[in-house]
Structures are given as C-alpha cells and as structure tokens.
C-alpha cells in the first residue's frame, strides 16, 4: 500500500465506522501504541470531515497486559491517555496489523480495567491472518495473506517519514 492507498483506505474505514454505529455520536477511538495511535487520529479526522463531529481519541499502552511480558519490558503508564470515561461508551480499538490476536486481547483487558464500555469494536489497517486467539476485526483496511515467516511492515509518516505497507522476508 502506498500513501494514496492508505489515505483512501482510512477514509473508507471511517465511513464504515459511522455507518455501522448509525452516526458518530458517543463514539471514541483508542489507538494501540504506537502506530495504532496515529491511525486512530487519522480515522477521527476522516470522521470529523465527513460528519462534522469531533471524535475523542485515546492512546493505550498494552505492554503490561501482554502474555509474553517476560520477554517485553512494560513501558511507562504515561503512554496510556484516555481523556474520556470508558464506562458506558462504544470504543473502537485501532491497530496497524492484526496477526495472532494477542495484542488485541491485551488491549481489551487494559480497557476493561479502566471501565466497562458499552461495546468494543476493532479496526485494523492490515489483517494478515495466523490468529492464535478467536479475535476478528470489525473494520479491515486490507487483508494480506502472508506466510508466518514473512513480516508486514506498516510505516507511517508521523513515525517513519513515509506512508506505506510492505511485506518483508526475514534476512
């Protein structure tokens, strides 16, 4: 995916989110650190442009909730920012790549620890398959079938200076 394809994909996903939720009222987006945060901000901007509604965006660090945390250091809680109550709200979790489902499981646990949302939906830019948990996205930018040895690299201009999605072979 190149810059224009990503832009169009985010616009389409924003319209799908609004349609499924019968408008933007009450919606909140929560981006999973790191690239999910920037995608959530872009989705919120696309929804605002289409609906004229300001959508609050939060950020969620799930490292302390991962089931492989022995191998990953927990980052600072400061990486989580939820400027709205979770309880009783519909939340759209946003991430860049859905692979095994373990990051999403950790994100759901982190959200529920902060309140009981009225519902949680999942939006991902890329679904590459290979699920280890029964997790399915509600909104998918692109399905990219891959082998388990390939890697999907999502690069966003806010972090990487360029917008692209590429499949890479390990070296």
Structure token pair of residue 130: 């290979």
CA atoms within 13 A on the CB side of 163: 15
pLDDT, one tens digit per residue, over 45-90 is 999 999 999 999 999 999 999 887 665 555 555 589 999 999 999 9
Contact indicator for 43, 123 with CB cutoff of 8 Å: yes
- Helices 3-20 & 35-51, crossing angle to 10 degrees? 60
Residue 139: strand pairing partners: 123
What pLDDT was estimated at residue 77? 57
What pLDDT was estimated at residue 150? 94
The larger pLDDT score, comparing residue 88 to residue 170, is at 88
- pTM higher than 0.75: yes
What pLDDT was estimated at residue 102? 96
* Residue written as token pair 């991430």: 95
What pLDDT was estimated at residue 1? 97
Contact indicator for 128, 69 with CB cutoff of 8 Å: no
pLDDT, one tens digit per residue, over 5-26 is 999 999 999 999 999 999 999 9
Specify the CATH class of 3-168 in words: alpha beta
Distance CA 75, CA 157 (A): 23
pLDDT, one tens digit per residue, over 124-142 is 999 999 999 999 999 999 9
Contact indicator for 122, 101 with CB cutoff of 8 Å: no
E strand residue ranges, the chain: 28-32, 57-60, 90-98, 119-127, 139-143, 151-155, 164-168
The yes-or-no verdict on residue 112 having pLDDT over 90 is yes
Domain boundaries, the chain: 3-168
What pLDDT was estimated at residue 171? 76
């Amino acid at each position: 995916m190149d810059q224009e394809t990503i832009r169009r994909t985010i616009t389409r996903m924003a319209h799908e989110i609004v349609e499924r939720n019968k408008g933007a009222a009450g919606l909140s987006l929560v981006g999973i650190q790191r690239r999910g945060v920037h995608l959530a901000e872009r989705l919120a901007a696309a929804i605002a442009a289409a609906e004229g509604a300001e959508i609050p965006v939060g950020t969620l660090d799930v490292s302390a909730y991962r089931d492989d945390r022995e191998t990953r250091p927990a980052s600072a809680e400061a990486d989580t920012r939820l400027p709205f109550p979770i309880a009783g709200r519909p939340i759209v979790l946003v991430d860049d790549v859905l692979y095994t489902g373990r990051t999403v499981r950790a994100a759901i646990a982190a959200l529920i620890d902060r309140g009981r949302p009225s519902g949680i939906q999942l939006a991902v830019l890329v679904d590459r398959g290979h699920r280890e948990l029964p997790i399915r996205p509600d909104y998918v930018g692109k399905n990219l079938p891959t082998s388990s040895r390939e890697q999907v690299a999502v690069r966003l201009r806010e972090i990487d200076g360029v917008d692209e999605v590429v499949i890479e072979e390990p070296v």
